[in-house]
Amino acid sequence: MLTFRAAVLYTALMFGANPAAADLAAADALRAGDMQKLNFAEAQALPEIGLVGLDDAPRTLSEFRGKWVVLNFWATWCPPCRHEMPSLGALQTALGSDRFEVVTVATGRNAVPAIEEFFAETGVTHLTALRDPKSTLARSIGIAGLPVTVILNPEGQEVGRLIGDADWNSAEAHAVLSALMN
């Protein structure tokens, strides 16, 4: 059934979307399954608040400008985050490119060893992992619970938000994200 739905969605995308004019409306029209929880809005700039890599090096979201970014806020103690993380890893494997990246942000007091253990236990090895130790970025953009996933356009602006966990490696998610990137 998933294969049939994927074929229908991809066919609709291929014949119904003009690659030169793909926009939020096209992606919005393709929302189905878990992606019905994804809400689009007019592009909003995110504050340039410093984050930290797992190596303790300072990092910022501006490093990802020029790419579409699925920015996932999570924590090691969060069961829905544990459930969702493998699909984010699979999404990065499927769509990751110089135009698209999945970036995870561990919020709060998540120690590096706990983050590394979390990724090992969930089988995720190739996601960009950052930390927001004091939840400064998360709080500044109104994130109160976890997980929350924010879609950033290549200018680094938020264009969509999904509250709760989702299957990011579904045909529906691929169709919505592909429509955005076209």
pLDDT of residue 125: 87
Mean pLDDT by 10 residues, the chain (182 residues): 44 39 75 93 94 97 97 97 97 96 96 96 94 97 97 97 97 95 88
Please compute Rg for the chain using Cα positions.
16
Place domain 2-181 in its CATH homologous superfamily.
Answer: Glutaredoxin (3.40.30.10)
Cβ neighbors of 97 (< 8 A, separation 6 or more) are: none
Q: Where are the domains of the chain?
A: 2-181
Tell me the C-alpha distance between 154 and 42, whole Å: 14
- From the CB of residue 176, how many other CB atoms can be counted at a distance below 10 Å? 26
155 DSSP assignment: T
Quote the pLDDT of residue 23. Answer: 67
> N- to C-terminal Cα distance for the chain?
26
The answer to whether the beta carbons of residues 23 and 41 sit under 8 Å apart is no
pTM of the model: 0.86
